A and B are shown apart, each in its own frame.
Chain A
Amino acid sequence: MITWPNFVSQLFNGLALGALLALIASGLTIIYGTLGVLNLAHGAMFMLGGYAGFAAYEASGSFVVAVLAGTLVLLVVGIVMERVIVRHFYARPHEDQLLVTFGLAIVFVEAVRWLFSSDSKTITPPGALAGITPLGFMLYPTYRLAVVGIVAVALLVLFLVLYRTRLGMIVRAGIEDAVMVDCLGINVDRVFMLVFGIGAMAAGFAGIVNAPIVSLTPEVGEAILVQTFVVVVIGGVGSFPGAVLGGLIAGEIISLTSMVNPGYAYVMLFAAMTLVLVMRPRGLLGAIGRE
């Protein structure tokens, strides 16, 4: 039975999911846009962020420490992964990049399973954000409301980094033409490392922020990765605004369809993706010529 409060609360759920997807997809899309590598381990990084945060939470009992840990550990993981493995694949074909990041995703998931077992883990949100907030006409979990705000702030920070800093300018120029940026005497090597780190950090942050909403399992990144792909296809590869728009669209589609019948959520998501591919193959906000 679909009631008005039910509808609005699903709308909010869609917003929360959409904001998270937007953040994760931004990470994926700036890595791809700048480095030309589609990181199939991105979902696993989301999962790693959750577990890194969980470990910190167990040790300290503080949610803030958990968020910091989830974010910073993934910054380090991203940088190490780029330095040790991914950078040797820039000159290799796309297929090899897909294979190696896919292999790393398996390693991450199985390493976590080995360390933490397959049992699901839960993190409780901090006291101030626990409980339920009355919104006048309905009641809504406070933490989910907070997630929308937290992720919005994270997206804003990412926006400011991309559009208001020197690094961001280089990254955006690199998305258009990385060879040219290299020719202009900018140390592309270091920028690539940072971009991969920032992309991983975005996924990790999303992972720990999402952890109190759904329980953590080693497989949690897989479904997110698939949804992120749809977001990127809808929004357009290499486009930060596209990732945000695509994320919100995908979040709402999943959430609102689930209200009617959860079994059709993916079917609708896929239908939307197909529609975009037919009407506008480069994605809603994608530029022509990026492949």
Chain B
Amino acid sequence: MSVDRIDSPRRPLLVAALTAAALIAAPFVLPWLGAAPNTVNRILVWGLFGIGFDILFGYTGLLSFGQSALYGTGGFVAAYFLTRAGFPHVITALLIGMVAAAVVGYLVGLVALRRTGIYFAMITVAIAEVFYFVEFNPLAEWTGGENGLPGVPTPSLHLGFTTLHFTTGWALYPFLAFCYFVGIVIALRIVRSPVGVVLRGIRENPLRTAAVGHNVHGYKLAAFVIAAAYAGLAGGLLGVLQAFMPPEAFTFETSGQLVIQTAIGGRGMLFGPLAGAALWLFLQDFLQGPLGLGATWKLVLGLVFVVLVCFLRDGIIGGIRNVYRLVVSRTGKKATADAVPAETTTRPRVASSLPAAAHAANGFTGPIMQTISLTKHYGGVAANDAIDFSVNAGEVRGIIGPNGAGKTTFFKMLTCGVPPTAGTILFKGRDITGMGVTEVCQLGLTKSYQVNQLFHRLTVRENVTIAALAALRGPFRLDLMRRPADIPGLDDRVAHTLELVGLAGRGEAPVAQLAYGEKRRLEIGLALASSPSLLLLDEPLAGMTPTERADTVRLLKSIAQERTMIVIDHDMDSLFELAERITVLQEGRVLADGPPAEIKANAKVQEAYLGGLNGAPA
């Protein structure tokens, strides 16, 4: 499995320069390889179409089979202006088509993004089919129906002293190459912006991305609109390229070909669709021409595609990159093995602490969290039954109770993960009942999960960055051109969080390579990075070795200096050492509440845990 990295700031410049060089060299090199200019131009249009799709699929993890709807919309709007409406300026018409596709993309996204996963795929297929039929019938008067719109002009550029005409073949190539170049430069900025980082978070773990305080739906919609804009521009260019806007742009086959090319080339790398389109179109020409397969070419390409999906997950570019990394890491390891001793896990450091948290208690006193007869029913089962609960600011509270006592349900309700059946939750005196996890996280309340919820294919640093971004940027912001390094305080916060949870030396390690104890601490780090004023920890010690437990207890003690914490755990000794007060739940009710010493001595608690040894009926 691949790991993509948020690279150093110099990388994009290098990539952009190499892309420019390749695009300039192409018309001199490719004819030698027997490439027809028209094929090269088509590859560029597919490549540009694919950049947006890759941001949607490769980066955000949303596989749409309906991109044809947006490709066709952009194409027909631009072509309509240039043919029927007699609008003279090609480049402006292309931009209008792009905007139209983005607007349509926003509306389509509102419907399609109501569901995720396979539902999303099915809905996009259905929507695209509607566009196809609408083009053919109700809108035939504007779109030419099955005839499409012929006579789309090519662009020319007036430079004062001379006029450049981009007509066909290699003469059109510079225009398309320039569009592709601009498209890739913008996309490189987008995927490296804070938004790009959040999109990857959504791909890896949408639930956690929302829980650390990002508006997941908003970002998905943004990715959908970005993809729509790219599709719209590419659609317009298709009309220019063919001097004709074909209704086939709207077919399911168009969407399918885009998906195939992206998967073949490699997803999540921006250049994948270009590579995939090159392979697909060259093979098509080759199989039909020199090999004389005629219509069977598609059967062969279909088989090639299935084999590639089965065996080459990251596509061609990804495959090459993986081989390259393997070679580099082999030779690299030999060189560095003696010089630098492999850094082993650093223990959590206790003394240091986070910079003053944004929402930190800031002088808040009294009960920071209160519930009033909080109740949750699952069918006929009362998981939580009228729980009255109050925690003061600055306190460390422990919650214990036998399995099935309703502890996790209680936590889920406190962080607004599930709505209560009845009752009220007050956070800093404010009624948060009915809010969402994202909203309450932004208010300064979050939890670490009982089962790790990490961003698996990202590095430790990227994991913490995603959480820190929500605290520093709010739930939603479209700073698409900003570099994460330019966000004040981000680097400090990430570095401090890593240090605090003892992962300072592991920042570049992918999560998949972490030991279990390290993952557990990263889990806490994600919650910490959003600097909550109230932190809920669901079994932070579960599954740890005794040494790891001792380390983590020390870590939690140092964290507790700056914030209020509520901790669930089954490790009584650790919890009694950590917490100032303990609440005992049993069968969804509060059984007892008091300082650790009192709870230890409480007969009812002993009975609940030891099952009525004193002869009480079972």
CB of A111 within 8 A of chain B?
Answer: yes
CB of A203 within 8 A of chain B?
Answer: no
Determine if A111 and B299 form an interchain contact, defined as CB atoms under 8 angstroms apart.
yes
Contact of B117 among A99, A114, A291 (CB under 8 A): A291
A96 to B118, CA, bound (A): 11
Determine if A32 and B299 form an interchain contact, defined as CB atoms under 8 angstroms apart.
no
Determine if B305 and A103 form an interchain contact, defined as CB atoms under 8 angstroms apart.
yes
**Given A100-B306, A267-B134, A270-B127, is A94 in contact with B117 using a C-beta cutoff of 8 Å?**
yes
Nearest Cβ in chain A — how far from B60, in angstroms? 11
Determine if A263 and B136 form an interchain contact, defined as CB atoms under 8 angstroms apart.
yes
A107 to B308, CA, bound (A): 14
CB of B476 within 8 A of chain A?
Answer: no
Residue of B with least CB distance to A261? B137
Nearest Cβ in chain A — how far from B251, in angstroms? 9
Would you list which residues of chain A between 206 and 263 have a CB under 8 Å from chain B? 222-223, 225-226, 229-230, 232-233, 237, 261-263
A111 to B123, CA, bound (A): 28
B-binding segment of A153-161, A185-193, A272-280: A272-280
Residues of A within 8 A of B126 (CB): 226, 229-230, 233, 269-270, 273
Determine if B256 and A102 form an interchain contact, defined as CB atoms under 8 angstroms apart.
yes
The digit string for B414-431, where 1 denotes a CB below 8 A from any CB of A, is 000000000000000000
CB of B61 within 8 A of chain A?
Answer: yes
Contact of A85 among B134, B301, B305, B310 (CB under 8 A): B310
The digit string for B579-615, where 1 denotes a CB below 8 A from any CB of A, is 0000000000000000000000000000000000000
The digit string for B114-141, where 1 denotes a CB below 8 A from any CB of A, is 1111110111011101101110111000
Determine if B118 and A32 form an interchain contact, defined as CB atoms under 8 angstroms apart.
yes
Determine if B111 and A95 form an interchain contact, defined as CB atoms under 8 angstroms apart.
no
CB of B44 within 8 A of chain A?
Answer: no
Residues of B within 8 A of A277 (CB): 111, 114-115, 123
CB of B263 within 8 A of chain A?
Answer: yes
Determine if B116 and A266 form an interchain contact, defined as CB atoms under 8 angstroms apart.
no
Determine if A102 and B259 form an interchain contact, defined as CB atoms under 8 angstroms apart.
yes
Residues of A within 8 A of B122 (CB): 38, 229-230, 232-233
Residues of B within 8 A of A72 (CB): none
Residues of B within 8 A of A94 (CB): 63, 117-118, 121
Residue of A with least CB distance to B263? A99
A233 to B302, CA, bound (A): 28
Would you list which residues of chain A between 95 and 114 have a CB under 8 Å from chain B? 95-96, 98-100, 102-104, 106-107, 110-111, 113-114
A110 to B295, CA, bound (A): 9
Residues of A within 8 A of B117 (CB): 94, 291
Residues of B within 8 A of A226 (CB): 125-126, 129, 252
A114 to B116, CA, bound (A): 37
CB of B217 within 8 A of chain A?
Answer: no
Chain B's interface size range is 35 or more
CB of A281 within 8 A of chain B?
Answer: yes
Determine if A266 and B302 form an interchain contact, defined as CB atoms under 8 angstroms apart.
no
Determine if A278 and B114 form an interchain contact, defined as CB atoms under 8 angstroms apart.
yes
Nearest Cβ in chain A — how far from B417, in angstroms? 14
Would you list which residues of chain A between 5 and 25 have a CB under 8 Å from chain B? none
Determine if A264 and B137 form an interchain contact, defined as CB atoms under 8 angstroms apart.
yes
Determine if B252 and A222 form an interchain contact, defined as CB atoms under 8 angstroms apart.
yes
Nearest Cβ in chain A — how far from B178, in angstroms? 32
**Given A110-B299, A281-B115, is A96 in contact with B123 using a C-beta cutoff of 8 Å?**
no
Nearest Cβ in chain B — how far from A263, in angstroms? 3
CB of A166 within 8 A of chain B?
Answer: no
A88 to B150, CA, bound (A): 47
Residues of A within 8 A of B65 (CB): 98, 102
CB of B296 within 8 A of chain A?
Answer: yes
Residue of B with least CB distance to A106? B302
Chain A's interface size range is 35 or more
A238 to B88, CA, bound (A): 53
The digit string for B299-330, where 1 denotes a CB below 8 A from any CB of A, is 10111011001100100000000000000000
Residue of B with least CB distance to A92? B313
CB of A77 within 8 A of chain B?
Answer: no
CB of B298 within 8 A of chain A?
Answer: yes
Nearest Cβ in chain B — how far from A238, in angstroms? 11
Contact of B130 among A118, A270, A278 (CB under 8 A): A270
A118 to B118, CA, bound (A): 31
**Given A270-B127, A291-B116, A291-B117, is A103 in contact with B302 using a C-beta cutoff of 8 Å?**
yes
Nearest Cβ in chain A — how far from B137, in angstroms? 3
Residue of A with least CB distance to B138? A263
Residues of A within 8 A of B118 (CB): 32, 38, 94, 98, 237, 291
Residues of B within 8 A of A223 (CB): 129
Residues of B within 8 A of A269 (CB): 126, 130
Residues of B within 8 A of A264 (CB): 137-138
A223 to B119, CA, bound (A): 18
The digit string for B523-542, where 1 denotes a CB below 8 A from any CB of A, is 00000000000000000000
The digit string for B61-76, where 1 denotes a CB below 8 A from any CB of A, is 1010100000000000
Residues of A within 8 A of B59 (CB): none
CB of B57 within 8 A of chain A?
Answer: yes
CB of B260 within 8 A of chain A?
Answer: yes
A185 to B246, CA, bound (A): 56
Determine if B119 and A237 form an interchain contact, defined as CB atoms under 8 angstroms apart.
yes
Would you list which residues of chain B between 247 and 277 have a CB under 8 Å from chain A? 252, 256, 259-260, 263
**Given A94-B117, A226-B252, is A106 in contact with B309 using a C-beta cutoff of 8 Å?**
no
Nearest Cβ in chain B — how far from A181, in angstroms? 21
**Given A237-B119, A267-B133, is A100 in contact with B309 using a C-beta cutoff of 8 Å?**
yes
A274 to B136, CA, bound (A): 21
CB of A265 within 8 A of chain B?
Answer: yes
Determine if B296 and A114 form an interchain contact, defined as CB atoms under 8 angstroms apart.
yes
A-B contact pairs, 9 of them (CB 8 A): A38-B122, A99-B309, A102-B260, A103-B305, A113-B295, A113-B298, A222-B252, A263-B134, A263-B137
A interface residues with partner B (beta carbon < 8 Å)? 32, 38, 85, 88, 94-96, 98-100, 102-104, 106-107, 110-111, 113-114, 118, 222-223, 225-226, 229-230, 232-233, 237, 261-267, 269-270, 273-274, 277-278, 281, 291
Known contacts A264-B138, A267-B134, A270-B127; 18 additional CB pairs below 8 A are A94-B118, A96-B309, A98-B121, A100-B310, A102-B256, A102-B259, A103-B306, A103-B309, A107-B299, A110-B302, A111-B299, A114-B296, A229-B123, A233-B123, A262-B137, A266-B134, A281-B114, A291-B118
